[in-house]
Structure 1
Amino acid sequence: VPDFVGDRYYSQAARLIAAIATIIISLTYVAGQMRGVGIVFSRFVGLPIELGVVLGMAIVAFFALLGGMKGITWTQVAQYAVLIVAYLIPAIAIGMLLTGNPIPQLSFTFSDIIPRLNAVQIDLGFTEYTQPFQSKTQIDVLAVTIALMVGTAGLPHVITRFYTVPSVRAARYSAGWALLFIALLYTTAPAIAAFARYNLIDTLQDATIANVTPGDKQDIVELQYSDGRPVTWATSWQKTGLLAFYDKNGDGKIELRPGAAFVGKNFKEPNPDTANEVYFDNDIIVLANPEIAQLAPIIIALVAAGGLAAALSTASGLLLAMSSAASHDVYYRIMRPNATERQRMIAGRSMILVAILMAGYFGINPPGFVGQVVAMAFGLAAASNFPAILLGIFD
């Protein structure tokens, strides 16, 4: 992107601005990926999230430092295959369980799952699940939608993939396939969200408290189903610090209600102003979804592998984009035009290491949940790279 901007607008200043924008966009995006990797390792390996992020940093550094443009592209192809299988299988299985329809997009749209979910939401004091503009105005939603659409066309690690094909025809052909694969993923997301919300409410409403184990930061509340079986996913996720319960009214049940269950992130201090007894971190919904639905352990493991593959493939591409912007567009094209290949490689790899350290910091201290951080990156791309690329088409 910086190369195109610099050559198209005949300006080294424009090249520098585009390079800085590329680095900021990529760094913002990769911070969200590091957070996701840390959560996967925390839940399924038993590590603290902070240590999980550090381990993820090491793995991503290995991919990015040793892989080139084409190598990382083929790695991403393999990781997408794992991701899409891990994403679709739970959606198909849960769709069958709740609606009898194995196609998530259809089971979500043409069954009674949404009316049932709306009714349950109202019973618990929430607004209807499908009620629009609950937390944002129409103009906010429109702006976010546009940013996500045009931001995709300005993402550095996506644009650079077109340089790995042999011809213009192949680039256009690959773009068509990319849209198909992206649509397959994105059209499934609303169904997964609705299924997860319904199963979460259904599980918590029927569960009772079996035992409470005091802890330093939070008490581990062990739940059981109506038939006496333990709700193992609830216990496991509480140990990560991303899920917490507190029986405020002492009725032996956990109630999901509107409002914050605790004062901030202090799980020892329940919020007296609400009846809600559940803290559920937004970042765990996709990973916890198959566990909440009581799917087979192999599907749960597959989802974990898919989440890890998604984060690692995206992170490696983003780091490569940052490396190229720093070593080629800033160091070589602006600062040192006479730099050798070795010096440029050292500059690029140094940028990767700095970026990984910064992304790791924001993975441990996130500015928002993963979806918010990723949306920030899309917004930055929509406001910087996309206009320059679009206007560069015209004379």
Structure 2
Amino acid sequence: MSSGTQFSHQLRRYYGWYTGSFAAFIMLLAIGEYLGMSQAAIGHIFLFATIAIYAGIGVMSRTSDVSEYYVAGRRVPAVFNGMATAADWMSAASFIGLAGTLYFAGFEGLAFVTGWTGGFVLVALLLAPYLRKFGQYTIPDFLGERYQGNFARMVGLAAAVLASFVYLVAQIYGVGLVTSRFVSVEFEIGLFIGLAGILVCSFLGGMRAVTWTQVAQYVILIIAYLVPVVILSYKVTGIPLPQAVYGTVLGQISEREDELMNEASEIEVRRQYRYRADEFGRKIAELPVSLDAERAALIERLNALRLEDGSAREIALTERALRDLPRTAEEARARWEKQRAHALERARPPPRHATAHPGDTPEEVARSRNNFIALVFVLMVGTAALPHILMRYYTTPGVVEARRSVFWALFFIFLLYVTAPAYAVFAKWEVYSNLVGSSLTELPAWVASWGKVGLVKIEDLNGDGILQLAELTINTDVIVLATPEIAGLPYVVAGLVAAGGLAAALSTADGLLLTISNALSHDFYYKVVNPRASTHRRLVISKSQLLVVAVVAAWVASLRPDNILFMVGLAFSIAAAAFFPALVLGIFWKRANRPGAVCGMLAGLGITLYYVVSTHSFFGGSMENAWLGIAPIAAGAFGVPLGFLVIIVISLLTPPPPQEIQDLVDFVRYPQLPGGEGH
């Protein structure tokens, strides 16, 4: 038996014992809950036990060998690299955000499923085996070698850091979300609890520690994702196979949607939101007079309450309203525009779950279809260009294993993605049938729990004391985490889901942190600043960069910049526009040269960032500036074609690369050439 086969058998045995032990751990906690263990204790045990597992693997995998630290010694078997890639890939966006997006967007949310899975086909066909044949450590490494020097390397480095940092912030935000809810601590404290877990996994052992931790995290996250929806499927349909039976429940949801859309109370609430939007429109049109009038009215009301000995609560609320009032007309315009847009959104009936490309007019339908296609495109090419995913294919023993690990990664990802639509349907059925129409005095406890974190909001707009669908606001990030509570399942299931969400966020955060720190230490410090640096110094630099980046990302995440799925989508657009044209043409077209690649990467990245800033409200932009109605999350749809065009045109207008670079392309492309698999 070869050493590689023996190593693979050992891994199977170790992780088999680990999976069985984790299942027994869940059963023990379930028995503990039955015997009276508190929910707080269950939440704490899940959180700290799983972090302790990851930390233990990280400590045991510590290394000071450069090859082990950067690429896990290039000896990770295909199956386990597939599991690690799946865990690295299935971030908080996939675990926490995907089912929530499908819950709200219905058919339109399938763009994420289609794009993300389709992207791995591009990885297998266009990139993974060729990058493994090239060898080395990072994506900027390939760009520097293929496009002759540090200019292309530095552009690639900047793009890799930017895309990975945006993605990392989303993961740490997800960590804070999970820990703050299930350990009952402040959101910011939850961030840094999770940050400690991230650092212990990656700080000591680099890619070696991250790889074996990610395999362990995949086991937890897939169990956590499947268990509640299987139980919920059995509860609703009597069949514990949600992927096969959710279509029946979807038909019932369509009938319930018909009822809700025609209820007088629902129509009245949507009309009230329309009135509110019109009022905000009036105030915006009359600025700055309307702002002065509102401030004067609040001052007058506050004085009257004080003179008439009004209640302390009314006085406090009025003081708060006065304090929160915008200070300038510009600030008022920005805030009221956002509130007007929210009111207009609530005034419209939600899209029907099974309707493809919804819209009231042909223009809206066309815009919806354009966004669907653009998002699928961006997610596919973004998947094939994400540095932290492509780095995983440097860790396999050879080119054949790199191809096989793409297959295994797609299989392990499929297990979650084929379940996400069922998750959304069963969660929506529970909300539509058991929550909507309830008395506001008898709402389930989970509404208050998630309301404290600011992710569930209820407003009795028509004052009837009954919850209408239009009066309920649920953040997309809540659906998966709250489904066990929504369905009335044992709290141990909710704790399990939290542990799975934490595993998903931590596994991706580990990979992203390592990508950023390795790029800064290897591609910037070692390749550009100090090529004579010793092995020890390179690892010290990498670890220090890892620590700094982690703290900065946690600080940005504490500002709660946007929902998880948008931040992840933005990272895909950045990676797609910056890397995909340069990587694909660098492998398949010998004529691509340094001026073309550098200009193409800068042009693609520049137009993508410009489009996001000009169209997304977080940056002060507006969808009025959108081209073809494309949402900012799919900005890379403009950057990728521009990148290809610029690289091709400028490469043809400038001298071809030298013969040694064209030989490198042949070496990477054709496995039958002599010279081994490394470079």
Query: TM-score range, shorter-chain basis?
Result: 0.7 to 0.9
Contact 1:21 1:384 in 2 (8 A): yes
SS of equivalent residue, structure 2 residue 532: coil
1:283 aligns with 2:477: yes
**Normalized against structure 1, the TM-score is what?**
0.85
- Take 2:421 and 2:256, find their aligned partners in 1: how far apart are those partners? 13
- How much does 1:279 deviate? 2.7
Deviations 1:16-38 (A, max 9, x none): 11111111111111111111111
- How much does 1:121 deviate? 5.3
Q: Match of 2:499?
A: 305
Give runs of aligned pairs for residues 200-279 of structure 1, distance below 5 A.
200-210=431-441, 223-224=442-443, 231-257=444-470, 276=471, 278-279=472-473
Q: Which moved more, 1:374-383 or 1:247-256?
A: 247-256
Q: Output the amino acid matched with 1:325.
A: A
Contact 1:98 1:113 in 2 (8 A): no
Q: Match of 2:490?
A: 296
Q: Match of 1:133?
A: 357
- Take 1:367 and 1:209, find their aligned partners in 2: how far apart are those partners? 31
In structure 1, the gaps of 5 or more residues are 211-222, 225-230, 258-275
Q: Match of 1:171?
A: 402
Higher RCO (Cα < 8 Å, 6 or more apart): 1
Task: Report the CA distance shift for 1:359/1:117 in structure 2 as closer, same or farther (over 3 A).
Answer: farther
- How much does 1:108 deviate? 2.5
Contact 1:12 1:334 in 2 (8 A): yes
SS of equivalent residue, structure 2 residue 436: helix
In structure 2, the gaps of 5 or more residues are 1-138, 267-348, 359-363, 591-679
Give runs of aligned pairs for residues 63-102 of structure 1, distance below 5 A.
63-102=201-240
Aligned residue among 417, 425, 429 for 1:194: 425
Deviations 1:338-367 (A, max 9, x none): 122233223212321222122212312233
Aligned residue among 255, 258, 269 for 1:119: 258
- Take 1:343 and 1:113, find their aligned partners in 2: how far apart are those partners? 63
- How much does 1:120 deviate? 4.9
- Take 2:261 and 2:238, find their aligned partners in 1: how far apart are those partners? 25
Q: Match of 2:381?
A: 150
Deviations 1:353-389 (A, max 9, x none): 2221222123122332011111111111111222222
Q: Match of 1:387?
A: 581
Q: Output the amino acid matched with 1:376.
A: L
Q: Match of 1:37?
A: 175
Contact 1:122 1:128 in 2 (8 A): no
Deviations 1:44-74 (A, max 9, x none): 1111212211222222122221232122111
- How much does 1:310 deviate? 0.4
Identity of aligned residues (%): 42
1:316 aligns with 2:540: no
Number of residue equivalences: 358
- CA-based RMSD of the aligned residues comes to 1.9
SS of equivalent residue, structure 1 residue 122: helix
Task: Report the CA distance shift for 1:308/1:117 in structure 2 as closer, same or farther (over 3 A).
Answer: farther
- Take 1:389 and 1:122, find their aligned partners in 2: how far apart are those partners? 49
- How much does 1:256 deviate? 1.8
Give runs of aligned pairs for residues 294-373 of structure 1, distance below 5 A.
294-373=488-567
1:183 aligns with 2:414: yes
- How much does 1:253 deviate? 2.1
Contact 2:378 2:573 in 1 (8 A): yes
Contact 2:221 2:500 in 1 (8 A): yes
Q: Output the amino acid matched with 2:518.
A: S
- Take 1:362 and 1:96, find their aligned partners in 2: how far apart are those partners? 41
**Normalized against structure 2, the TM-score is what?**
0.51
SS of equivalent residue, structure 2 residue 353: coil
- How much does 1:110 deviate? 5.2
- Take 1:120 and 1:76, find their aligned partners in 2: how far apart are those partners? 45
Aligned residue among 137, 152, 155 for 1:14: 152
- Take 1:39 and 1:331, find their aligned partners in 2: how far apart are those partners? 35
- Take 2:581 and 2:215, find their aligned partners in 1: how far apart are those partners? 28
Contact 1:108 1:114 in 2 (8 A): no
SS of equivalent residue, structure 1 residue 392: helix
- Take 1:118 and 1:95, find their aligned partners in 2: how far apart are those partners? 20
Contact 2:437 2:468 in 1 (8 A): no
Task: Report the CA distance shift for 1:117/1:179 in structure 2 as closer, same or farther (over 3 A).
Answer: farther
Task: Report the CA distance shift for 1:127/1:166 in structure 2 as closer, same or farther (over 3 A).
Answer: closer
Deviations 1:166-224 (A, max 9, x none): 122211111111011111111211221222222222232243233xxxxxxxxxxxx34
Q: Which has the greater radius of gyration? A: 2
Task: Report the CA distance shift for 1:367/1:121 in structure 2 as closer, same or farther (over 3 A).
Answer: farther
- Runs of 4+ aligned structure 1 residues displaced above 4 Å come to none
SS of equivalent residue, structure 1 residue 137: helix
- Take 2:404 and 2:191, find their aligned partners in 1: how far apart are those partners? 36
1:107 aligns with 2:245: yes
Task: Report the CA distance shift for 1:121/1:27 in structure 2 as closer, same or farther (over 3 A).
Answer: farther
- Take 2:415 and 2:564, find their aligned partners in 1: how far apart are those partners? 21
Contact 1:117 1:129 in 2 (8 A): no
- Take 1:282 and 1:256, find their aligned partners in 2: how far apart are those partners? 15
Q: Which moved more, 1:63-72 or 1:299-308?
A: 63-72
Task: Report the CA distance shift for 1:113/1:384 in structure 2 as closer, same or farther (over 3 A).
Answer: farther
- Take 2:260 and 2:421, find their aligned partners in 1: how far apart are those partners? 17
Contact 1:35 1:366 in 2 (8 A): yes
- Take 2:198 and 2:566, find their aligned partners in 1: how far apart are those partners? 22
- Take 2:405 and 2:457, find their aligned partners in 1: how far apart are those partners? 44
Contact 2:254 2:352 in 1 (8 A): no
